[in-house]
Structure 1
Amino acid sequence: MDDEVIEWIERVAGFLTQEYGLPPIAGRVLGRLMACDPPEQSAAQLAAAVGASRASLTTNLRLLLDAGLVGKRLGRGERTAYYRVDDDAWQRVIRRRIAALGSFRDITKAGIELLERDGGRAARVRSADAAFAWLAEAFADAGEPK
């Protein structure tokens, strides 16, 4: 990969570390898988590309697999696993996160009912509920990504 792509991968890693608390290696692996050709890479290829030990790579791949950002494939009759970012991975992850945020609204509604007698505490929960309601409405109106 050329220097500009490597720099972009580092930007991906920095963003994911700062905004989501992912380890830098996980961010580098994800950035690499978003930009590499061929789109599937073995653990050995990824470890060499991002400068990670095999143990660190395994831990970070597990994190990305569990998050749904990276998929794993074993070829028929092969012992080597190949990893990739599916074209719809981001859409699936974002939908799952939005659904989780929406389900927190059930908790805020229950909190409002529970805390109605105490205006101060109920007001803070109402504020959270309003934020989640706004978010749900914004995404309901957004439609499909293009």
Structure 2
Amino acid sequence: MTTTEERLAYADRVAEVWASRYRVPPIAGRIAGYLYVCEPAAQGIDDLAAALQASRSAVVGSVKVLELHGLVRRTRAAGERADRVRLVFDESRGFDPTRYREAAEIAEAGLALLAASATDQRAVLEETASLNAFLADRMPQLLEEWRATR
């Protein structure tokens, strides 16, 4: 059985990674990390604020950020006055080719603006366009491969 301190240390670790890699506020990463390991899985705003020793307003704002990213969902049971927050998992979110397709298109548009002599700039844009087009093409296949392993 894990202790509260171990769960909070885990939440802090998630916060560090998410803040540096995904550019979310550290408290948003702490909330996500805590929700990964807390019991019960759904927590009230006040519960999160108390557990993470954060202000209620910081928790509410960070939950909104996490909701926008599709990482948490608020629910409320009949008769309850407070929302419960829980993590959600959308398997297709990480495999969405849209962002890669857009990045490839942007790089290709930049290439169209460059003269043939701008080799340094062309090289970067060509590689960017190529990699992102490749990833956009492969993401649906990777999702199917991943589903097959589940």
TM normalised by structure 1 equals 0.83
Q: Percent identity between the aligned chains?
A: 28
Aligned residue pairs total: 143
Question: Which residue pairs with 2:139 in the alignment?
Answer: 139
Residue 59 (1) aligns with residue 61 (2) = yes
Deviation at 1:30, TM superposition (A): 0.3
How far off its partner does 1:20 sit?
1.7
How far does residue 119 in structure 1 lie from its aligned partner after superposition? 3.1
Q: 1:26 is aligned with what amino acid?
A: A
Partner of 1:100: 99
Equivalent position of 2:15 in the other structure: 13
CA distance in 1, matches of 2:73, 2:24: 17
Contact persistence 2:10–2:34 (CA under 8 A): no
Structure 1 gap ranges (5+): none
Q: Scaled by the length of structure 2, what TM-score is found?
A: 0.81
Say if 1:9 and 1:32, in contact at 8 Å, map to a contact too.
Answer: yes
Please tell me whether the aligned partners of residues 95 and 140 of structure 2 are also in contact (alpha carbons under 8 angstroms): no
Residue matched to 2:129: 129
Distance in 1 (alpha carbons) for counterparts of 2:92 and 2:30:
21
Whole-Å Cα distance in 2 between the matches of residues 116 and 74 of structure 1? 58
Give the distance between the partners of 1:92 and 1:127, measured in 2 at CA: 26
d(CA) in 1 for partners of 2:123, 2:21: 28
* RMSD between aligned residues: 2.1
In structure 2, stretches of 5+ residues that fail to align are none
- Return the offset for 1:141: 4.3
User: Distance between the aligned counterparts of 2:43 and 2:92, measured in 1?
Assistant: 21
Per-residue deviation, 1:14: 1.2
